[in-house]
Amino acid sequence: MIDEGYIKFDSRWRQTEPLHNSEIDLLNRWRRPLYDAGLIGYYEEQGIGFGNLSVRISPEGRFIISATQTGHVRNAGAEHYALVEDFDIEQNRVFSHGALEASSESLTHAALYSLDSRIGAVVHVHSEKLWTALKDTVPTTRADVSYGTPEMAREFDRLWRESDFPETGIAVMAGHASGLVSIGRDLQEASERILALDAKFAD
């Protein structure tokens, strides 16, 4: 079974109207090329969406993230995003609201925003090609740690302190098949980093 798409943390989600935040347009602007490159999408056989992106909206780490199981959507709208109001990594808990529930990778995004207030955007993609090519070459989280857990948060903290992850902004999740993350000052930087790698390894 693919370890993907289901929420492992205590998700306190409040269903509301679609979000009205101005960042939605920017999220869609950068989601599109990621979707077209197949870095965000849908495993048809299993019926599971993959990949997500988020943008910070406050210094404390509130962020807007694509909602769970939206990977099949090409033209996303405000209804496909959720706002993470608060989180507690040690308690494994995420508080969000929106028309759909926040992504199952929200805790991973929260952990990344917690590393440094200058991280303004996080992109999580799936690419078997990049994962295979870059695992253990670029900063890589341990193979026995899966997504959406407090252990993964601690792994990113380790990479932040011990590798060039703060400069390059790219990491491979060895314990999450095909999973990579890209961070940046803003959505453009985080998205372009992973799109550039995808172009570089195109065959």
Q: Which residues bind Zn ion (CB under 5 A)?
A: 179
Question: Are the C-beta atoms of 17 and 83 separated by less than 8 Å?
Answer: no
Q: At its nearest, how many Å lie between Zn ion and the CB of residue 51?
A: 7
Which residue lies nearer to Zn ion by CB, 26 or 177?
Answer: 177
Which residue lies nearer to Zn ion by CB, 52 or 96?
Answer: 52
From CA 124, how far away is CA 66, in angstroms rounded?
11
Q: At its nearest, how many Å lie between Zn ion and the CB of residue 8?
A: 12
Quickly count: other Cβ atoms within 10 Å of residue 157's Cβ.
15
Q: At its nearest, how many Å lie between Zn ion and the CB of residue 137?
A: 20
Q: At its nearest, how many Å lie between Zn ion and the CB of residue 179?
A: 4
Residue 71 CA: distances (Å) to CA of 57, 158, 185: 23, 29, 24
H or E element in which residue 54 lies = strand 52-56
Residue nearest Zn ion, Cβ-based: 179
Which residue lies nearer to Zn ion by CB, 1 or 20?
Answer: 1
Which residue lies nearer to Zn ion by CB, 61 or 179?
Answer: 179
Q: At its nearest, how many Å lie between Zn ion and the CB of residue 104?
A: 8
Which residue lies nearer to Zn ion by CB, 3 or 88?
Answer: 3
Quickly count: other Cβ atoms within 10 Å of residue 68's Cβ.
22
Helices (H), the chain: 23-36, 106-115, 128-134, 150-162, 165-168, 187-200
Residue 55 CA: distances (Å) to CA of 31, 91, 137: 12, 23, 27
